[in-house]
Amino acid sequence: MNWRLVSRLLGLLALLIASSMLLSLPWSWPQCGQTAVFERQALRGMLLSIGVSVLTGLLLAAVGRRPRGTVLRKESLAVVGLGWILCGVLGSLPYLLTPTYRLPGVPMSVADAVFESISGFSTTGASVLTQLEVPENITNCEAAATAGLIAYVPRSVLFWRSFTHWLGGMGIIVLFVAILGQLGAGGKALMRREVPGPVSDTLRPRVRETAVIMWTIYFVLSLVLTAILLAEGMTWYDALCHTFGTMATGGFSTRNASAGAFNSPLVEITLIVFMVAAGTNFNLYYVLLRQPRRPGDSERPSRLRLLFQDAEFRAYLAVIGLSTAVLSAVLLLSPVHDDGPASIRHAAFSVVSIMTTTGFATENFSEWPVVSQAWLTLLMYVGGCSGSTGGGIKVIRFLVLFRVLKLEIERAFRPNLVRPVRIAGNRVQDAVCRDVLLYFCLIAVISAVSWLVLVGLEPVTQWELARQPESVRLTDCASAVAATLNNIGPGLGVCGSHGNYTLFTDSSKLLLTLLMLLGRLELFAVIVLFVPRFWTED
DSSP assignment of 51-69: HHHHHHHHHHHHHT-S--S
Is pLDDT above 90 for 370?
Answer: no
Lowest mean pLDDT among 28-32, 168-172, 250-254, 285-289: 28-32
Q: Could you tell me the pLDDT band of residue 59, with boundaries at 50, 70 and 90?
A: very high
Is pLDDT above 70 for 61?
Answer: yes
Residue 204: predicted pLDDT? 47
Over the chain, what is the mean pLDDT?
83
Mean pLDDT across the stretch 279-307?
68
Residue 200: predicted pLDDT? 45
- Strand 106-107 and strand 422-423: pairing? unpaired
Mean pLDDT across the stretch 62-77?
77
Asked if 312 and 399 count as a contact pair (C-beta separation under 8 A), the reply is yes
- Counting residues of the chain whose pLDDT is more than 70, the rounded percentage is 83
More confident residue, 138 or 411: 411
Residue 103: predicted pLDDT? 83
Which residues lie across from 426 on neighbouring strands?
Answer: 423
Query: How far apart (Å, rounded) are the C-alpha atoms in residues 447 and 485?
Result: 8
More confident residue, 475 or 114: 114
Is pLDDT above 70 for 31?
Answer: no
Q: What is the DSSP letter of 108?
A: P
Is pLDDT above 60 for 297?
Answer: no
Identity of the highest mean pLDDT range in 83-92, 201-210, 326-335? 83-92
Mean pLDDT across the stretch 97-109?
86
Q: Which of 20, 496, 515, 520 is nearest to 244 (CA)?
A: 20
Q: Could you tell me the pLDDT band of residue 520, with boundaries at 50, 70 and 90?
A: confident
Is pLDDT above 70 for 198?
Answer: no
Q: Which of 39, 117, 2, 10 is nearest to 517 (CA)?
A: 117
Residue 466: predicted pLDDT? 58
Lowest mean pLDDT among 71-85, 182-196, 284-298: 182-196
Lowest mean pLDDT among 82-86, 207-211, 355-359: 207-211
Query: How far apart (Å, rounded) are the C-alpha atoms in residues 22 and 163?
Result: 11
Q: Around Cβ 205, how many Cβ atoms within 10 Å?
A: 8
Q: Which of 443, 423, 446 is nearest to 433 (CA)?
A: 423
Q: Could you tell me the pLDDT band of residue 508, with boundaries at 50, 70 and 90?
A: very high
Q: Could you tell me the pLDDT band of residue 33, with boundaries at 50, 70 and 90?
A: low
Query: How far apart (Å, rounded) are the C-alpha atoms in residues 89 and 436?
Result: 31
Residue 46: predicted pLDDT? 93
Lowest mean pLDDT among 136-145, 260-269, 276-285, 387-396: 136-145
Lowest mean pLDDT among 1-5, 34-38, 390-394, 427-431: 34-38
Q: Could you tell me the pLDDT band of residue 294, with boundaries at 50, 70 and 90?
A: low
Query: How far apart (Å, rounded) are the C-alpha atoms in residues 346 and 265?
Result: 9
Residue 513: predicted pLDDT? 95
Lowest mean pLDDT among 14-28, 67-81, 312-326: 67-81
More confident residue, 520 or 336: 520
Is pLDDT above 60 for 492?
Answer: yes
Q: Could you tell me the pLDDT band of residue 116, with boundaries at 50, 70 and 90?
A: very high
Is pLDDT above 60 for 186?
Answer: no
* Residues in contact with 91: Cβ distance below 8 Å, sequence separation at least 6, in sequence order: 17, 117, 118, 120, 121, 160, 164
Mean pLDDT across the stretch 400-423?
85
Is pLDDT above 90 for 205?
Answer: no
Q: Could you tell me the pLDDT band of residue 173, with boundaries at 50, 70 and 90?
A: low
Mean pLDDT across the stretch 283-302?
63
More confident residue, 245 or 212: 245
Lowest mean pLDDT among 142-151, 161-170, 231-240, 483-492: 142-151
Is pLDDT above 70 for 295?
Answer: no
Residue 202: predicted pLDDT? 45
Query: How far apart (Å, rounded) are the C-alpha atoms in residues 243 and 253?
Result: 10
Identity of the highest mean pLDDT range in 10-19, 185-194, 426-435, 529-538? 10-19
Using DSSP's 3-state secondary structure scheme, residue 257 falls into coil
Residue 203: predicted pLDDT? 43
Is pLDDT above 90 for 528?
Answer: no
Please state the φ and ψ torsions of residue 172, each to the nearest 5 degrees: -65, -40
Is pLDDT above 70 for 420?
Answer: yes
Q: Could you tell me the pLDDT band of residue 85, with boundaries at 50, 70 and 90?
A: very high
